Amino acid sequence: MNRPVPADVPQDVAATRTAGAATATVPVTVVVPVRDGADFADECLDSVLANGPDEVIVVDGGSSDGTLEAARRRGLRVVTHEGSGPASARMAGAALARNDVVVLIDVDVVLPDDALARWYDEFRVRDLAGLQAGLAPESLGRHYWGRSLAEHQRISRARRWFTLCATMLHRDVLLEHGIDDSFASGEDIEFRHRLQRAGQPIAVSRAVQVRHRFRDGYADARHQWDDDGAGLALTIRKNGVRDLPLLAIPAVGFVRGVALTLLRRPQMLGYWCCYLWFNYVALVRGLLRTDPHGLTGNSRSLALTRTLPMGLGFVTWAAAARAFPASDVGLAAAAFSAATLVSHLATSGPGNALVLLAPSRPGSARRLARAASAVVVVTSLAAGVLLAVLAGRFAPSLARLVDHPAGWLAFLALVVAISWAYLYDHVAIAVRRSADALRRSVVQAGLLLVVVLVLLPAAPDPAWAVLVGAGAAGGLASVLLGMAQARRRLPAPSTSGADGELRSLLTTGTPNLALTLVQRGPMLVLPFVVTEALSPAANAAWYVAWMLALAIWFVPNSVAWSLQARLAGDPTVHPPTEVRAALRTAVLATAAAAAGVALVGPFLLMVMGDDYVTARTALWVLCVAAVPAVAAEIWLSVRRVAGRQGLPILLFGAVGAAVVVCSGLVAGGGDPSAGLARVALVWLAGQVLLGTVATARLRSDAREVRRG
């Protein structure tokens, strides 16, 4: 029985159709991109030919498994293509097509009988630029991974999206807009977004469904996850902020998949965990891919230097939280916060001066490092003593530590060791060897973890002494390794005499000291505010949440440091271009890191115990606050290179003071969870304000950067 022919189908086509399916010819060119698809090719090509297209072009990307033989046995036109993947193969086939309508069919797709004619009729009746066939997924075998992958596709909302594995398009639309051949996967999402923004009408078929087959092994599922994550990353990198919502796709897919399959197919939980993990691994790797202007290998190492110890530190604090009272863990956290505050105070001046001066004065770099070390040791020791003396008045909870007979020495050792170790991070940045800093951070955090794990069975008293002493030991080990690295990396002095290194450090470093103090002081004072306004136990929860959030913040901070070293040491770069690229990369990477921490962080807090779950809402707010901080970090690096720190000092000082005061006012109230959330909201408000001002100033300030 013949089907009715739509009224708008051309008469010559209608006449051909009514003559019977055996003689029908659909006026389209089918393009089949292939590479090593012999297990799919026979059924796919037979189904295409059975549907009577006017032309079939097989575009081969270098098959070596018999795929081409399957095409040649059927007398099909085969084009050898040496492009980068299926996207360029599809475009090559479309360029050779003789029909105005092109059908892109992947080799793992099988068309039902008469599907092509019904598909073409719907395409013409709906007057579309592109029409995707419905997909009916199936596995080639009956093993776990293939069946799970097919089930995933069956329940996925993506089956209602316009994709490219079985798609009918006007040839001129396809050639005009093109498929980006830099994508190994995910090119369909990016292509769809561009068509939609251009106002081209596209849809998924209501009448035609094709079989979409998947191989059965783990390697094939893993390849799919990796390609999907990498494709999302490339789409975000290409289109920027407007496609940031794509970051949520793996997480949403995971939650939805578990909800829909857990009761019916609980064995799929392993599949969903792998899907989530490998998608995000590939996505983050793609976002952090080497960029000559953005997050290069040097800044990636620096970001890992900051974040990897966070992971090891979490294990340390989780072990301590399970073994020690929360009040002791909170007290140790306050000691580490104080030591970190002092380290930023002591190193921000000489450290920034090293980053700015060493690249342009290699003959003095080693002497600069020695002078900076002396300044840091003296400054950190003095600041530690002052902080310990004043603890009774301004931080009574910390006074419990320094009142202990050995507490003074342990605290001072922690302060000096952490500060000195942090200085060697600046040495690594100055010589663009941030991998050295990564090695030292692993040693420092790893030693802390080992000491804690070894001493846990002994249940020492006081428990905070274990954490403080182990932190001091880890810092000292990092210093010793940093000394050895500096001897290898820094050239021998060009002259035997002094060349005013100390004066240069002080002259260059003092404005940066003030800037760093007002920038980072509030974030390091907040633990004291939380401890005094709530309790040491609440501060233990806050500290863990803050540590997780800092892992996000270190991403834009690392990009900013690398940008600062590049602007200061390379006179050939164009500052506005460098700044734009660094800002773009930092936004994408920070958003990805924030999404990951927001998703995983609550589970980590839950693992540590009920006392730490109180910081869950605060953690989510802190994750959001990391994104507006990106512009401020990049802006500060530009102002440092330009030697114009005055406005940032005033702005950050005023906002920081307001944040600390407001946090103290809103933190109290009895409920620790609500108090921590209110402090986080105050922090978010401050970051939004700073980010807004930085964004408004960044373009003009980048043009004014001058290098000597």
User: 638-677 burial by CB neighbour count: b if 16+ within 10 A, else e?
Assistant: bbbbbeebeebbebbbebbeebbebbbebbeeeebeebbb
Side chain identity at 307, as an amino acid letter?
T
Residue found under tokens 């002081």: 521
C-alpha–C-alpha distance, residues 554 and 381, integer Å:
26
> Do 253 and 278 meet the contact criterion of CB atoms below 8 Å apart?
no
C-alpha–C-alpha distance, residues 67 and 74, integer Å:
12
Residues 6+ apart with CB under 8 A from 279: 225, 228, 229, 232, 249, 250, 253
Average pLDDT over residues 54-70: 87
DSSP state of 246: G
CA distances from 684 to 406, 605, 663, 688, 691 (A): 38, 21, 11, 6, 10
Residue 3 has pLDDT above 50, yes or no: no
pLDDT class for 168, splitting at 50, 70, 90? very high
Average pLDDT over residues 109-138: 93
Residues 6+ apart with CB under 8 A from 231: 183, 184, 185, 186, 187, 189, 190
Residue 144 has pLDDT above 80, yes or no: yes
> Do 218 and 262 meet the contact criterion of CB atoms below 8 Å apart?
no
Side chain identity at 257, as an amino acid letter?
G
What are the tens digits of pLDDT across the range 590-622? Answer: 887 788 788 878 877 787 677 778 888 999 999
Percent of the chain residues topping a pLDDT of 70: 80
Higher pLDDT, residue 99 or 700 = 99
Side chain identity at 615, as an amino acid letter?
A
Average pLDDT over residues 381-400: 69
> What pLDDT is stored for residue 360 in this prediction?
62
Residue found under tokens 């003030």: 514
Higher pLDDT, residue 302 or 419 = 419
Percent of the chain residues topping a pLDDT of 90: 15
C-alpha–C-alpha distance, residues 678 and 668, integer Å:
9
What are the tens digits of pLDDT across the range 432-479? Answer: 676 677 777 778 777 777 777 776 666 566 777 777 888 888 888 888
Residue 297 has pLDDT above 90, yes or no: no
Residue found under tokens 């892109």: 104
Strand partners, 137: 212
Burial class (CB in 10 A: 0-12, 13-18, 19+), 142: exposed
By C-alpha distance, which of 320, 327, 605 is closest to 470?
A: 320
Residue 373 has pLDDT above 80, yes or no: yes
> What is 157-202 written as a DSSP string?
GGGGS--SSEEEEEHHHHHHH---TT-SS-HHHHHHHHHHHTT--E
> What pLDDT is stored for residue 343 in this prediction?
80
Residue 497 has pLDDT above 50, yes or no: no
Q: Which of 15-19, 91-95, 311-315, 385-389 has the lowest mean pLDDT?
A: 15-19
By C-alpha distance, which of 594, 549, 479, 564 is closest to 306?
A: 549
> What is 204-216 written as a DSSP string?
EEEEEEEEEEE--
> Do 214 and 153 meet the contact criterion of CB atoms below 8 Å apart?
yes
What are the tens digits of pLDDT across the range 641-654? Answer: 877 878 888 999 89
Pairing of strands 101-105, 77-80: unpaired
The sheet carrying 26-34 orders its strands as 77-80, 53-60, 26-34, 101-105, 166-170, 130-139, 202-214, 109-110
What are the tens digits of pLDDT across the range 188-203? Answer: 878 888 898 889 999 9
> Do 619 and 549 meet the contact criterion of CB atoms below 8 Å apart?
yes
Pairing of strands 130-139, 202-214: parallel
> What pLDDT is stored for residue 2 in this prediction?
36
CATH tag for 11-216 (out of 3.40.50.280, 3.90.550.10, 3.10.180.10, 3.40.50.1000): 3.90.550.10
C-alpha–C-alpha distance, residues 81 and 61, integer Å:
5
> What pLDDT is stored for residue 310 in this prediction?
58
How is the chain split into domains, by residue range? Answer: 11-216, 218-287, 297-703
Q: Which of 411-415, 485-489, 571-575, 675-679 has the lowest mean pLDDT?
A: 571-575
Higher pLDDT, residue 396 or 624 = 624
pLDDT class for 6, splitting at 50, 70, 90? very low
What are the tens digits of pLDDT across the range 303-349? Answer: 555 555 655 666 676 677 766 776 677 777 777 777 877 887 787 77
What are the tens digits of pLDDT across the range 620-639? Answer: 999 999 888 888 988 988 88
Q: Which pair of tokens denotes residue 633?
A: 């970090």
> What pLDDT is stored for residue 132 in this prediction?
93
C-alpha–C-alpha distance, residues 601 and 608, integer Å:
11
> What pLDDT is stored for residue 214 in this prediction?
87
Query: Sign (positive/negative) of CA torsion 674, 676, 682, 685?
Result: negative
Residue 133 has pLDDT above 90, yes or no: yes
> Do 230 and 185 meet the contact criterion of CB atoms below 8 Å apart?
yes
> Do 470 and 439 meet the contact criterion of CB atoms below 8 Å apart?
no
CA distances from 633 to 122, 571, 657 (A): 53, 22, 18
Average pLDDT over residues 513-525: 75
Query: Please, what is the end-to-end C-alpha distance for the chain in angstroms?
Result: 84
Q: 10 Å Cβ neighbour count for 602?
A: 18
Average pLDDT of the residues of the chain:
79
